[in-house]
Structure 1
Amino acid sequence: MNIVDIATEEYLEVDADERLGKVRSLFDRENPKGIVVTDGGEYSGILTERQLLQSHIEDDAKVQVLARNNIPQVGREDDVRKVARMLVEGGTKVAPVFEDGDLWGIVTEDAILRAVLGNLDVLTVEQIYTDEVITLREDDHLGKAINYLRENDISRLPVVNDSGRLSGMVTTHDIADFAVRTMERQHSGDRSGDTDRMLDLPVYDLMNSPVETITGDASVETAVERMFEHDYAGLVVTPEDDDTAVAGILTKTDVLRALTYTEEESMDVQITNIDLLDTISREMIQGAITEVADKYQDMQVHHAHVRFSEHKERLRGTPLIHCQTRLRTNRGQIAGSGEGYGAETAFRVALDKLERNVLEKKEIRADAEYEGQLLRKLNEL
Structure 2
Amino acid sequence: MDIADIATPDFIEVDVDERLGKVRSIFERENPKAIIVQNDGEYAGVIGEKQLINSHVEDNTKAAALTQAVPKIDRHEDVREVARMLVEGNTKVAPVYEGEKQYGIITQDAILEAVLDNLDALTVEQIYTDDVVTIGERDHLGQAINRLREHGISRLPVVDSENRLAGILTTYDLVEFMVRDEGRQGKQDRRGDTDRMLDLPVYDLMTSPARTASPGESVRDAVARMFEDNIAGLVVTPEDDDGEVLGVMTKTDVLRALTYTEEEQMDVQVTNIGLLETLTRSTIVSAITEVADKYQRMNVHHAHVRFHEHKEKLRGTPLIQCQIRLRTSHGQLAGSGEGYGAEHAFHVALDKLERNVLEVKGFEADERYRGQLLRKLNEL
Q: TM-score range by the shorter chain?
A: over 0.9
CA distance in 1, matches of 2:216, 2:376: 36
Aligned to 1:75: 74
TM-superposed CA distance for 1:185, in Å, is: 6.1
Aligned to 2:87: 88
Q: 1:187 to 1:27 in 2, by over 3 A?
A: farther
Q: Which residue of 2 aligns with 1:301?
A: 300
* Structure 1 position 259, deviation (Å): 0.6
- Aligned positions of 1:67-216 closer than 5 A: 67-68=67-68, 70-181=69-180, 193-216=192-215
Deviations 1:8-59 (A, max 9, x none): 0001111211111121121112111101111222222100011000012111
Give the length in aligned residue pairs.
380
Verify the 8 A CA contact 1:324 1:337 in the aligned structure 2: yes
Aligned to 1:44: 44
Instruction: After TM superposition, give the deviation of residue 102 of structure 1 in Å.
Output: 2.0
CA deviations 1:48-84 (Å, max 9, x no partner) are 011000012111111111111x212100010101100
| 1:289-344 Cα distance to aligned partner (Å, 9 max, x none) | 00111111221110000001111222222111111000001111111111111110
Q: Contact 1:183/1:193 (CA < 8 Å) preserved in 2?
A: no
Distance 1:192 1:361 in 2: 50
SS of equivalent to 1:241: coil
Within 1, Cα distance between the matches of 2:233 and 2:191? 32
The letter of the residue matching 1:172 is T
- Supply the RMSD in Å over aligned alpha carbons: 1.8
CA contact (8 A) 1:126 1:216 kept: yes
User: Secondary structure at 2:179's aligned position in 1?
Assistant: helix
Q: Is the 8 A contact 2:190 2:197 kept in 1?
A: no
**Structure 1 residues 318 and 368: CA distance shift in structure 2, 3 A:** same
Classify 1:79/1:239 alpha carbon distance in 2 versus 1 (closer, same or farther; 3 Å).
same
Aligned to 2:275: 276
Alpha-carbon distance between aligned partners in 2 of 1:295 and 1:99, rounded to the nearest angstrom: 46
Residue in structure 2 matched with residue 345 of structure 1 by the alignment: 344
State whether residues 75 and 97 of structure 2, in contact with CA within 8 Å, keep that contact through their aligned partners in structure 1: yes
1:327 is paired with a residue of what secondary structure? strand
Aligned-residue offset at 1:371: 3.1
Secondary structure of the structure 2 residue equivalent to 1:121: helix
Q: Provide the C-alpha distance between the structure 1 equivalents of 2:56 and 2:314, rounded to a whole number of angstroms.
A: 20
What is the aligned partner in structure 2 of residue 65 from structure 1? 65
Give the counterpart letter for 1:362 in structure 2: K
Letter matched to residue 40 of structure 1: D
Task: Report the counterpart of residue 19 of structure 1 in structure 2.
Answer: 19
TM-score, length of structure 1 as denominator length: 0.96
Corresponding residue for residue 365 of structure 2: 366
What is the aligned partner in structure 2 of residue 54 from structure 1? 54
Shift of 1:153: 1.3
Deviation at 1:186, TM superposition (A): 7.4
| Cα distance between partner residues in 2 of 1:186 and 1:17 | 29
Q: Is the contact made by 1:182 and 1:193 (CA closer than 8 Å) also made in structure 2?
A: no
> What SS does the corresponding residue of 1:181 show, helix, strand or coil?
coil
Supply the AA of the counterpart residue of 1:58.
E
Give me the identity figure in percent. 68
Structure 1 unaligned segments of length 5 or more: list them.
none
**Distance in 1 between residues matched to 2:275 and 2:14, nearest whole Å:** 27
CA contact (8 A) 1:213 1:243 kept: no
The alpha-carbon deviation at position 376 of structure 1 amounts to 3.8
* Cα offset, 1:221, TM superposition: 0.4
Aligned 8 A contact 1:186 1:193 in 2: no
Q: Larger deviation: 98-107 or 364-373? A: 364-373
Aligned AA for 1:281? T
1:212–1:378 Cα change, 3 Å: farther
1:317 maps to 316
Question: Partner letter of residue 33 of structure 2?
Answer: K
Amino acid at match of 2:199: D
- Shift in alpha-carbon separation, 1:310–1:336, aligned structure 2, 3 A: same
Amino acid paired to 1:177: E
Determine the C-alpha separation between the residues in 2 that align with 1:127 and 1:255.
Answer: 10
Post-superposition CA distance 1:135-177 (Å, at most 9, x none): 0011111111111111211110001111110111000000011
Q: State the SS of the aligned residue for 1:5.
A: coil
